[in-house]
Amino acid sequence: MKKKNDSSEKPTKKIEQLQKDTWKVEGSTMKTNQGVKVNDTNNSLKSGERGATLLEDFLLREKITHFDHERIPERIVHARGSGAHGYFELYEAIPQYTKAGIFNDTNRRTPVFVRFSTVAGSKGSPDLARDVRGFATKFYTDEGTWDLVGNNMPIFFIQDAMKFPDLVHSVKPEPNNEIPQAASAHDTFYDFVSHATETLHNHIWAMSDRAIPRSFRMMEGFGIHTFRFINEKGESHFVKFHWKPKLGVHSVTWDEAVKINGADSDFHRRDLWEAIDAGHFPEWEFGIQIVPQEDEHKFDFDLLDPTKLIPEEMVPVQIIGKMTLNKNPDNFFAETEQIAFLPGHIVPGLDFTNDPLLQGRLFSYRDTQLSRLGTPNFHQIPINRPVVESHNNERDGQMQMDIPKGQTAYFPNSISGGCPHLSKMAEGAFGSYEERIDAKKVRNRSESFSDHFSQPALFYRSLDKWEQEHVAGAYTFELGKCKIDHIKERMLYMIDQIDHDLAKKVAQGLGLKVPSKIDEPINQSIGADADVKKQQPGPKKNYLDKSPALSQAKTKFDSIETRQIAVLVGDGFSMKNLEKMKSSLEEEGASVNIIAPMGGTITCDENMEHKVDASIMTTESVLFDAVYIPGGKKSINALGENAKYIKFVNEAFKHCKAIAVDGEGKEFLRTTYAGKHTNDKAILVDEDATAFIEAIKQHRNWERMAIAEEVPA
């Protein structure tokens, strides 16, 4: 007979039954943590369908609060980040739009700190995951701190903050096995996406090359939401914010991303640090899209819908300033990790709109920072301190680092002479736009938010052919990782609503057919009592045939600054050829790296020793932007004896990069796939440096893509 405390004894039936009952899912009814039945977990409580979100929404606060506190101390999302210091300069003042000092003083140099990040992965995940990238900027202005907390994509997955925990839970590793890490290619994510059709626009961006940028320095940034500018007259203009990189918008291929994650999982972090360390300071121009208050409803989409962008062809981006990052952090934890961004940090001349995602973020971010940094005094951490003094009656709290003086900590008072006193609007005090609100309290979503297919279709139509092929490949790979067929089929139906040819390509890759219909509502991201018909997305509209600004084929191709050039050499390489090419490349700001059979030093044909940057066994082609082989008979013989050099060039060819050879280098080229295609405009044999530089400027020769697929992965 076993003893009661025998560790080998199985749990009693009573405990097993209790566990089953507690976590039973089938047939259960959704309730709050207090046992209150819930009829809508998709929409926050608003003053009218397009009105402000209400603080009394206990369902929103319970759901968001619990989500914000799921992880400590690592950020739940945007955990893996890199940051840098810099400054912002204004090109032209815009008093007609805003009274904000940062946008009206062209003599200012406003300090900034920027944090770039991936969204879904943990702090230890690799840099090159297919993911949205965070692009958060803290402006230390003379009127207070302004945080522009955005991404490298101009829209977001969801329309209402109430859905944010659902989105992140679906894309995070599945809770039963914690798989996969930093990847969206799994059943729970596509189960969610295929039922919440509002996600389809941001999702197709995530399937594009925008989700695997070449560098943080070569990606755009967006404020996502529609904000307000307020001028001295109290007039309001809607505004969207843009960061446009001076180096253009460039990406890597998926095959490269997979290999880079293995060769250097810190690729983006290292790239940013080394560029700044070498004096190649990253720059972005700052742009705004302005919509007058009276034009709020003139578009075929809703300005308050964060899943929609305003095409630049409809409202041009006005470039008004520039940001330069010129200093790496002194301590990663103290600065990059402890920096706290809050969308609620704005300055006079800026204000919020009733975008329901933004409204929820205004609550959520502060709550998250309280959890992560452990104290309401996180603003006293040096990286978070404003550059202007702050005076108020807030006191004490964990980790209080200031020593407030005086007898009073309340207002109004007479003991301290009424200090700190209030400021008048004319003295620069913050004031909210006086928007008229006259609506019923509802938990619903405006019908103007229900167009879920038009903008994903516009995005896909606007892409170049090679970009469209990459999107089709991404969908095929991601859905191919899903195991549940009905999720794949439902997703194919959704893609078909965006573009039929795209759906056919993906279906062919999956060995499935595109369904002509589905037996359930298209959009299931609605409340239990919602009008199902009103919340179903209608057929896509074509209010703009194409938006070239959405395509990376229309980006800047005028610089090779900071591009990494691999020079493949063995002993006896041509000093004359290398020096000529090296000086030309470095004059354009590129970094030239000698890749030799072994580390240490290597000898040229003039019997001079040269420092080796990497041995061929410790590096990979995917870490470089172009390849040069300077020739020299002895050197070329050495390259031919090492199969990894051939693999190196073959991969550069496969990834459509520029390849140049001089002298005997063409003999080695013939042993590679590139040697079979010397009519390729980015394969240069005995050409001058100018032609090679022009080929590198183009980032890739995408015309090679179909041929490049012949090369084994």
Element (H, E) at 25: none
Contacts (Cβ under 8 Å, ≥6 apart) of 79: 117, 118, 121, 122, 123, 125
Q: How far apart are CA 628 and CA 665, in angstroms?
A: 9
Q: How far apart are CA 268 and CA 432, in angstroms?
A: 39
Instruction: Note whether 250 and 268 are within 8 A (CB).
Output: no
Q: Which two tokens stand for residue 134?
A: 């965070």
- Residues with catalytic roles: 78, 151
In this structure, which amino acid lies at residue 619? T
Q: Residue 191 forms beta bridges with which residues? A: none
Tokens 């809770």 found at: 175
Instruction: Note whether 695 and 682 are within 8 A (CB).
Output: yes
Q: Which two tokens stand for residue 109?
A: 């140099």
- Evaluated on CA atoms 634, 637, 642, 648, the torsion sign reads positive
Instruction: Note whether 286 and 320 are within 8 A (CB).
Output: yes
Torsion angles phi and psi, residue 214, rounded to 5: -65, -35
Q: How far apart are CA 383 and CA 338, in angstroms?
A: 7
Q: How far apart are CA 128 and CA 108, in angstroms?
A: 36
Q: Which residues of 150-167 are buried (b: 16+ CB within 10 A; e: fewer)?
A: bbbbbbbbbbbbbbbbbb
Contacts (Cβ under 8 Å, ≥6 apart) of 378: 338, 340, 369, 370, 384
Residue 609 neighbours by CB distance under 10 Å: 10
Helices first, then strands: H and E counts in the chain: 19, 20
Q: Which residues of 256-277 are buried (b: 16+ CB within 10 A; e: fewer)?
A: bbbbbbebbbebbbebbbebbe
